[in-house]
């Protein structure tokens, strides 16, 4: 299911920590020139406006374009240097409010992703000194401002409101790739606190009297700097919190209940938002699309139009689920009953945490037994929840664990069965914690997630993004793959890439029974310069026919820095990369006529051959990658003899028998053929990280 997840960031970071344990220190990035974005400022603009924006990072010299995930946003270059590039952005009037990915194109290829925000409110110029109430910036109703947190300080804004005027103050941070955890306080003219938000970035405020109100904004830990931008809007337009049902059947038209604030024609509901404010409700009719055959699911974006413009979007998962409801504040939800025959394979799945609900779902499956006395008794068949981090029932989304659960079950006896959803968290009374339940005959299927290779150093303590995906002639770039198997599917998945330019090939495999794999992008020696988007697609055969699924894409926005942070991962809307017209500084492959071996499932032996402009004399640091269990492994120093070397490594935990495709991350000092910041003239030496070509291991063939 490739739809976005909007959740409390603290839980999201717990999920990330479970994937990358102990990622808390910064590491130097690869020095081979690759366009890399670290920040955009201002990171927001009003639809229908033009403004100048500075893109900061490394290797941005020669920047000529910015690639956006909306055709309504364009950029005209103004100036560029290695550390920053300025563009004039133009946002068309019909671009919906929300977050959009941006990548900068420099002479060193396309960069990594950073997000910008499109709003409907009039933008106010950023302040340079508003860290005291006396220097507060005026922020009128239906206006917005982009700013950066000031370290160890508050920032202040003046809002003039009439008596009983209703406004929603929203602070956008996650949606623009900010590290900020926002806190907002609203004080009246006398300095008394009248509203606050210490989580969620929303203040729903009705002015108790006409007057001047002071908005105070700061990071929860009072951090600041270029990596802590935010965008605050004071708005009277509609704001949507959720929609029910959260799931709809493909190709249908149905009625939905929208919950939010300032809803035109809305009525008071019995629900409350995450901030405790009472929500309005509005019944609407929505037609859902029919997803294409290569999608495991999609999300439909819906907005409400008010006098002040369109609302923020809410999302409906376009999927086949049998039941939708809200978890009650106490007790179990309404059970779902169905008839099944002995030996049938059924698949049970609940969707709730992935919708952003603060829930911990549990599914209890029971067989209903007729006592012959006019009533029934129950026999418990399976009880599964996602609270245990090691639970095998937890459903991942975009490669990260969630608290939702799913499992297959062979029906033991013909008859009637009941599945009862329960929430193991105590949901606040009135909070709309929705869920969707599927209990149906199993259909083999899978979800695929693709993540560009990252830099992993110091026994997995340092994990950093590599910048943009850049291929040089003769080079290889690995894309890590994760698969979630559903409906009993256990077969091979062949992975390739659609939309590739001439000279570029892609191949990958996730072997039967495995949940990880690697897609290798490779450029031959004739490849020409190119930048664009492609699609990563998985193909498999199942008992129900062939299955084709497009991958979801995720990106590491930044690595860890300090003990209070974890690696931040999010989805990206497309898969883009560059081919640049220069030879790869180093090509690494298994030596011709030889094979990599894995004795006893753990003793890795790889005879290597290097192709470089000159002989490598300094020791290299090499680390195996391609499986999550390799992350905690320490890199090893290897010295080449001529153009060859041998990499011997103890993996620690033996791999199970099977076929594996992995790769090596190699840090080496080599001559670089073009002028760079590290080598002012061609032929100078430069140190950086490169990835090897595929390494195939067959544990069954090398039992040791």
**585-704 has the same fold as 122-235:** no
pLDDT of residue 13: 37
pLDDT of residue 426: 76
Q: Domains of the chain: which residue ranges?
A: 122-235, 239-318, 333-421+437-446, 585-704
pLDDT of residue 178: 95
Cα separation, 649 vs 697, in Å, equals 13
pLDDT of residue 698: 84
Give the pLDDT confidence of 1-37 residue by residue, as tens digits.
444 433 333 333 334 433 433 333 333 334 688 899 9
- Start-to-end CA span in the chain (Å): 41
pTM, rounded to two decimals: 0.90
What is the 3-state composition of the chain as percent helix, strand, coil, each rounded to the nearest 5? 5, 55, 45
Contact assessment for residue 406 and residue 348, using Cβ atoms and an 8 Å cutoff: yes
pLDDT of residue 70: 95
pLDDT of residue 319: 86
Residues 6+ away with beta carbon under 8 Å from 102: 37, 40, 55, 66, 67, 68, 69, 73, 113, 114, 115, 116
**Residue numbers in the chain where pLDDT is lower than 70:** 1-31, 292-297, 427-429, 560-565, 672-684, 700-704
pLDDT of residue 297: 59
pLDDT of residue 6: 35
Q: Any alpha helices (H) in 33-178, and if so which ranges?
A: none
Cα separation, 158 vs 136, in Å, equals 6
Cα separation, 547 vs 524, in Å, equals 30
Contact assessment for residue 299 and residue 317, using Cβ atoms and an 8 Å cutoff: yes
Which listed CATH number (2.60.120.380, 1.20.1110.10, 3.30.70.1400, 3.40.50.700) goes with 122-235? 2.60.120.380
Cα separation, 159 vs 141, in Å, equals 7
Cα separation, 554 vs 453, in Å, equals 11
What's the topology of domain 585-704? Immunoglobulin-like (2.60.40)
pLDDT of residue 684: 66
């Amino acid at each position: 299911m490739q739809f976005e997840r909007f959740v409390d960031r603290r839980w999201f970071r717990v999920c990330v920590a479970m994937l990358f344990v102990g990622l808390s220190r910064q590491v130097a990035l690869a020095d081979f020139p690759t366009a890399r974005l670290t920040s955009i400022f201002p990171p927001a603009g009003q639809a229908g406006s033009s403004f100048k924006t500075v893109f900061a990072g490394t290797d941005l010299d020669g920047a000529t374009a910015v690639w956006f995930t909306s055709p309504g946003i364009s950029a005209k270059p103004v100036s560029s240097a290695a550390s920053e590039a300025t563009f004039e952005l133009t946002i068309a009037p019909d671009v919906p409010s929300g977050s959009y990915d941006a990548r900068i194109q420099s002479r060193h290829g396309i960069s990594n992703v950073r997000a910008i925000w499109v709003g409907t409110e009039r933008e106010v110029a950023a302040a340079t000194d508003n860290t005291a109430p006396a220097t507060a910036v005026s922020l009128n109703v239906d206006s917005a401002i982009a700013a950066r947190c000031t370290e160890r300080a508050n920032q202040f804004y003046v809002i003039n409101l009439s008596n009983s005027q209703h406004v929603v103050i929203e602070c956008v941070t996650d949606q623009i790739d900010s590290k900020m955890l926002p806190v907002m306080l609203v004080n009246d003219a006398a300095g008394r606190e009248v509203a606050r938000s210490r989580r969620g970035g929303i203040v729903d405020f009705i002015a108790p009297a006409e007057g001047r109100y002071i908005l105070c904004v700061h990071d929860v830990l009072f951090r600041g700097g270029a990596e802590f931008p935010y965008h605050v809007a004071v708005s009277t337009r509609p704001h949507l919190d959720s929609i029910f049902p959260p799931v709809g059947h493909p190709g249908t038209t149905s009625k939905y209940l929208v919950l939010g604030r300032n809803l035109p024609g809305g009525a008071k509901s019995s629900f409350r938002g995450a901030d405790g404010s009472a929500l309005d409700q509005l019944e609407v009719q929505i037609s859902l699309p029919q997803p294409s055959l290569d999608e495991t699911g999609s999300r439909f974006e819906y907005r409400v139009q008010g006098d002040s413009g369109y609302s923020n979007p809410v999302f409906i998962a376009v999927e086949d689920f049998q039941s939708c409801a809200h978890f009650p504040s106490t007790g179990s939800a309404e059970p779902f009953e169905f008839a099944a025959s002995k030996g049938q394979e059924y698949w049970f799945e609940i969707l709730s945490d992935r919708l952003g609900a603060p829930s911990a779902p549990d599914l209890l499956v029971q067989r209903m037994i007729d006592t012959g006395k006019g009533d029934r008794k129950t026999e418990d068949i399976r009880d599964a929840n996602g609270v245990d981090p090691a639970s095998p029932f937890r459903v991942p989304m975009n490669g990260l664990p969630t608290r939702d659960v799913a499992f297959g079950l062979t029906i033991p006896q013909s008859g009637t069965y009941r599945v009862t959803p329960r929430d193991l968290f105590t949901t606040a009374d009135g909070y709309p914690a929705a869920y969707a339940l599927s209990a149906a005959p199993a259909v083999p299927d899978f979800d695929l997630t693709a993540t560009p290779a990252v830099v992993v150093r110091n026994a997995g303590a340092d994990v950093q993004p590599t910048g943009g995906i850049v291929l040089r002639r003769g080079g290889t770039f690995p894309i890590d793959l994760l698969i979630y198997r559903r409906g009993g599917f256990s077969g091979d998945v062949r992975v390739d890439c659609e939309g590739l330019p001439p000279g570029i090939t892609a191949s990958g495999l996730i072997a039967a029974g495995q949940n990880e794999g690697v897609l290798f992008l490779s450029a031959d020696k004739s490849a020409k310069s190119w930048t664009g988007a492609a699609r990563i697609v998985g193909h498999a055969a199942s008992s129900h026919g062939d299955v084709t699924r497009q991958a979801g894409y995720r990106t590491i926005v930044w690595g860890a820095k300090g003990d209070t942070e974890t690696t931040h991962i999010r989805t990206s809307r497309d898969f883009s990369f560059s081919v640049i017209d220069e030879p790869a500084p180093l090509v690494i492959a298994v030596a011709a006529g030889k094979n990599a071996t894995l004795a006893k499932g753990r003793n890795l032996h790889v005879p290597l051959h290097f192709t470089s402009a000159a002989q490598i004399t300094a020791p290299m640091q090499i680390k195996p990658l391609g499986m999550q269990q390799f992350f905690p492994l320490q890199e090893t120093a290897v010295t080449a003899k001529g153009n060859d070397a041998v990499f011997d490594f103890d993996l620690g935990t033996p791999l199970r028998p099977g076929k594996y495709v992995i790769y090596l991350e190699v840090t080496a000092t080599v001559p670089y053929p073009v002028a760079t910041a590290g080598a002012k003239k061609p032929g100078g030496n430069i140190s950086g990280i490169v990835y090897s070509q595929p390494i195939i291991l067959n544990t069954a063939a090398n039992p040791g």
